[in-house]
Amino acid sequence: MNKVVTLGDKSFQLYISETQILTAVRAVAEQINKDYLGKRPLIIPILNGSFMFASDLMKELKVDCDISFIKAASYAGTSSTGNITNLIGLNEDLAGRHVIIIEDIIDTGHTLAKILPAFAEKNPASLKVATLLFKPKALKTQIPIDYVGMEIPNEFIVGYGLDYDGLGRNLRDIYQVI
């Protein structure tokens, strides 16, 4: 099975199947179900990339929980710029809440490093980070990462919510640049 897709000027090959993704999502959900029993966490996905992960994760959560989305964008093309262009929608009262930030992927960690203080200063009872994908070799910052679906090498990927210049978010599987 060597599926190839072309998005704009680049080609990508199948890398992580939908089945493998959903297994990783379930494993993260199981840990959250265990850790937040009786706590009613507030799930905060960071748009755009995390919308599919957030949706599938929510379906697997058995604990009572709330969800509220915020938007942050820092990516141009295939390399992280580290510049946050947007942080919209952090209007929720986080005081005393058990907050879980949901990321699609942690690459350099710059996005999270920049936005975490904005959460922390709202005095949540606890603040944790769940990411579907993590590139340990790309990490350039010291950030807490509490739940990881899968560790991947430092290669650019698309699909399952993640884009290449706007394209590929609709793909069910994850593809790696060729």
The footprint of Mg ion (CB under 5 A) covers 49, 104
Listed residue (68, 28, 18) closest to 47, CA to CA:
68
- Is residue 49 near ligand 5GP by the rule CB under 6 A? yes
Q: Which does 7 bind (CB under 5 to 8 A by kind): Mg ion, ligand 5GP, none?
A: none
Residue of 56, 104, 107, 173 with catalytic role:
107
125 versus 178: smaller Cβ distance to ligand 5GP? 178
Check if 93 is active-site: no
Angle between helices 51-60 and 18-35 (to 10 degrees): 60
Q: How far is CA 60 from each of CA 7, 22, 23, 30, 83, rounded to the nearest angstrom?
A: 31, 10, 11, 8, 33
Q: Is 105 helix (H, G, I), strand (E, B) or coil?
A: strand
Among 32, 94, 162, 171, binds ligand 5GP (CB under 6 A): 162
Listed residue (167, 165, 161) closest to 16, CA to CA:
161
- Is residue 36 near ligand 5GP by the rule CB under 6 A? no
74-90 as b/e, with b when 16 or more CB fall inside 10 Å? Answer: bbeeeebebeeeebeeb
- Is residue 173 near ligand 5GP by the rule CB under 6 A? no
Q: Which does 158 bind (CB under 5 to 8 A by kind): ligand 5GP, Mg ion, none?
A: ligand 5GP
Q: How far is CA 88 from each of CA 59, 70, 72, rounded to the nearest angstrom?
A: 25, 6, 7
37 versus 84: smaller Cβ distance to ligand 5GP? 84
- Is residue 175 near ligand 5GP by the rule CB under 6 A? no
83 versus 123: smaller Cβ distance to ligand 5GP? 83
- Is residue 74 near ligand 5GP by the rule CB under 6 A? yes
- Is residue 60 near ligand 5GP by the rule CB under 6 A? no
Q: Is 61 helix (H, G, I), strand (E, B) or coil?
A: coil
Catalytic residues: 107
Q: Name the site residues for ligand 5GP (rule: CB under 6 A).
A: 49, 74-75, 80, 103-111, 156-158, 162-164
